[in-house]
Amino acid sequence: MKFSKFYAPTTKEAPKDASLPSHIFLLRGGFVEQMGAGLYNYLPLGQKVLNKITKIVKEEMDNAGALELNFSMVTSAELWRQSGRFDVFGKELLRFKDRKDNDFLLSATNEESAVATIRGKVTSYKELPKNIYQVNTKFRDEARPRFGILRGREFIMKDAYSFHANEADLKREFDLMEQTYSKIFTRLGLNYRAVFADSGAIGGSGSKEFMVLAPNGEDDIICCKQCTYAANIEAAKRAPRTSSALKPEADAAKFLTPNMKTIKDVAEFFKVDEFYTIKAVIKKAIYADSTKIVVFFIRGDDELQEVKAQNACKALDIADASDDEVLNAGLVAGFCGPVGLKGVDFYIDSELKGQNQMICGANEKDYHFVGVSVSGFNEDRFKDLSAVRASDRCPECGGELEVSKGIEVGHIFQLGDKYSKPMNATFLDENGKAKPFIMGCYGIGVSRLMAVMIEASHDERGCIWKKECSPFDAFIIVSNLKDENALKYAIELYENAKKAGLDVMLDDRNERFGVKMNDYELIGAPFAIIVGKGLEEGSVELVTRSGLVKEQIKADTALDALKAKLCF
Ligand code: ATP
Ligand code: MG
């Protein structure tokens, strides 16, 4: 490609709202342009990178035996009514009507489409398993689209759906997909972890996320320093906590605790460690057509993990409760405890089960209970509610945990019959009995990956692409276009490189050298050959974008040098 014929509208400045390197460089480098909140056009450079990422994703999916197809992006609401998701999926789902007043939606995910494709057509266990996938546009009306294409409203996803005769076969495919994803992210050169995850709106039993470790990540990842345990904080477990602080000793009693509304006040008042107190976190749980006040009881020195809380009460979302809502629910803020609590839904952190000598609110203004045993409660009140922290211990080996920031690039789910059962999608087993398909689904954020690769590899000047996904293998930059010999050499090198199968960009623009160099550094192909004055002495400069290392090489070895660097 000749830059003079190319379209890459590079700019010096990025819009003010762009704060992350990937967002800034994708806009400044002319990879993408913004068309609205969370809406982007991919320009030729961006499309080239996307194609390369897609190629790697497809190769590995095909190798694993998955079959590529394409679902329509507009889906009939009828399908989503069959699965029960049309009314409960949040506002991320863009619903609309056609001219005949029929309900439709823009695909946010395609489990229903996948079931509809297989249902009634794959009818026998003999035809199973099947894994179908697409690379297609998704639309989610995100509440806060941000960070450019990292969190867009329209984005490109690779989504796969597998169908099995039994759980064991699903487990086999899930493991195969985990290995396949590992191959993909390794080929992309990313530092990633596969972590235990919450299944969110997709649902199902077990799921794992693939997280690229990056300081700008929105997710908190808990990793063990000693073993391989790693989990999203939303699903992280820990070894039950213990405390070396002196355990209080008191007979069960109600105590006057005037104005002692916070855990800190109560612990100081009784001179006990906060570990021995019970904190009430009052929330509003939001359901499809109602809301409800729910109380979550956790240890005084723990924090509520909101996704765990939301899962515990099976809400679509949870929000803070206002003072009035707390009052109307009959709760005494600051003095709320599980003992004798009536008329409101409540859950207790599993780690509190069986604990004794605890202190909690007495559900009466200015009173707390001491010497409390957390027992006698219904089993299903106990849920995992607390946020795991770096100071906690690994649930698998007891080792030290650490918290890192990650960006989710992939998510694999074991769905079981969550979709096939309500959608009545069955096959006949060996005994001729109709059974719902056992399903898995597997997503990769293809467009997000383009930004993640920049987050993982850039400097203050621009992108540092690995050769696998760089828009070009190399640039050839003619420092002075008026130098006829230099231009002739550069064109020859460019033609030979093309013949050798390299994807090179010849910067033949009539621009100052500084402008061309800046654009090269911003766009960031792994190597460049600079053809300048040195050519008179038979040398050119080979630049390695990572570290901007420059070396003089013999002009007649330039192509071999590039091929060697690019392992061609
Ligand atoms: P997140 O937690 O980041 O909102 P999610 O869990 O809702 O993502 P999934 O339903 O698991 O996303 O979708 C599969 C993949 O699609 C994600 O792992 C992510 O890489 C990508 N993805 C999801 N939402 C977006 C988005 N708004 N913009 C770009 N990529 C996205
Ligand atoms: Mg996810």
Is residue 117, in this structure, part of any structural domain at all? yes
d(CA 75, CA 70): 12
In the listed set 344, 360, 387, which residue is the last one of a domain according to the structure? 387
Question: Is residue 450 within a helix (H) or strand (E), and if so which, with residue range?
Answer: helix 446-456
- Both 60 and 125 in a single domain? yes
Cβ pair 353, 385 in contact under 8 A: no
Nearest-10 crossing angle of helices 558-565, 484-499: 40
Please give the share of the chain, as a percent, with pLDDT higher than 70.
99
Q: Which pLDDT value is given to residue 369?
A: 97
Residues 96-121 have pLDDT tens digits of: 999 999 999 999 999 999 999 999 99
Ligand nearest the Cα of residue 407 is 1
d(CA 131, CA 62): 10
Residues 458-489 have pLDDT tens digits of: 999 999 999 999 999 999 999 999 999 999 99
- Both 213 and 300 in a single domain? no
Average pLDDT, integer, range 13-30: 94
198 lines ligand 1 (CB under 6 A): no
d(CA 388, CA 305): 8
519 lines ligand 1 (CB under 6 A): no
pLDDT of residue 199 exceeding 90: no
d(CA 349, CA 493): 68
- Both 31 and 174 in a single domain? yes
Is the previous residue joined to 129 through a cis bond, with omega within 30 degrees of 0?
yes
In the listed set 359, 387, 415, which residue is the last one of a domain according to the structure? 387
Torsions phi, psi of 461, nearest 5? Answer: -95, -25
- What is the pLDDT confidence band of residue 14, given thresholds at 50, 70 and 90? confident
The residue contributing the CA closest to ligand 1 atom 2 is 408
- Both 186 and 66 in a single domain? yes
CATH code, domain carrying 315:
3.90.960.10
- Both 40 and 183 in a single domain? yes
Question: Is residue 473 within a helix (H) or strand (E), and if so which, with residue range?
Answer: none
Is residue 64, in this structure, part of any structural domain at all? yes
Is residue 381, in this structure, part of any structural domain at all? yes
193 lines ligand 1 (CB under 6 A): no
Work out how many domains the chain is built from and give that number: 3
Please give the share of the chain, as a percent, with pLDDT higher than 90.
96
CATH code, domain carrying 156:
3.30.930.10
- Both 223 and 266 in a single domain? no
Residues 147-194 have pLDDT tens digits of: 999 999 999 999 999 999 999 999 999 999 999 999 999 999 999 999
Contacts of 328 (CB under 8 A, 6+ apart): 293
pLDDT of residue 568 exceeding 90: no
Is residue 460, in this structure, part of any structural domain at all? no
Average pLDDT, integer, range 524-534: 97
- Both 318 and 449 in a single domain? no
What number does the ligand 1 atom closest to the CA of 109 have? 10
- Both 202 and 260 in a single domain? no
Q: What is the dihedral of CA 446, 452, 457, 458, to 10 degrees?
A: 110
- Count of beta carbons in the 10 Å neighbourhood of residue 246: 10
pLDDT of residue 90 exceeding 90: no
The residue contributing the CA closest to ligand 1 atom 26 is 151
Domain hosting 527: range is: 474-566
Residues 437-459 have pLDDT tens digits of: 999 999 999 999 999 999 999 99
CATH code, domain carrying 507:
3.40.50.800
448 lines ligand 1 (CB under 6 A): yes
Q: Which pLDDT value is given to residue 288?
A: 84
Average pLDDT, integer, range 19-34: 97
Average pLDDT, integer, range 303-328: 95
Q: Which pLDDT value is given to residue 482?
A: 93
Average of per-residue pLDDT values in the chain = 96
Is residue 352, in this structure, part of any structural domain at all? yes
d(CA 57, CA 183): 9
d(CA 9, CA 519): 10
What number does the ligand 1 atom closest to the CA of 209 have? 18
SS3 405: strand
151 lines ligand 1 (CB under 6 A): yes
Q: How far is CA 76 from CA 84, 96, 298, in A?
A: 13, 10, 43
pLDDT of residue 432 exceeding 80: yes
- Both 202 and 158 in a single domain? yes
- What is the pLDDT confidence band of residue 257, given thresholds at 50, 70 and 90? very high
- Both 448 and 484 in a single domain? no
- Both 364 and 437 in a single domain? no
pLDDT of residue 299 exceeding 80: yes
What number does the ligand 1 atom closest to the CA of 159 have? 14
Is residue 5, in this structure, part of any structural domain at all? no
213 lines ligand 1 (CB under 6 A): no
- Ligand 1 pocket mutation, candidates 109, 411, 413, 453, criterion most atoms within 8 A of CB: 411
Q: Which pLDDT value is given to residue 204?
A: 66
Lowest mean pLDDT: which of 28-42, 188-202, 549-563?
188-202
pTM given for the model: 0.92
pLDDT of residue 126 exceeding 70: yes
- What is the pLDDT confidence band of residue 345, given thresholds at 50, 70 and 90? very high
- What is the pLDDT confidence band of residue 206, given thresholds at 50, 70 and 90? confident
445 lines ligand 1 (CB under 6 A): yes
142 lines ligand 1 (CB under 6 A): yes
pLDDT of residue 203 exceeding 90: no
Is residue 189, in this structure, part of any structural domain at all? yes
- Both 427 and 479 in a single domain? no
In the listed set 362, 387, 412, which residue is the last one of a domain according to the structure? 387
How much is the CA Rg of the chain, to the nearest whole Å? 29
Is residue 194, in this structure, part of any structural domain at all? yes
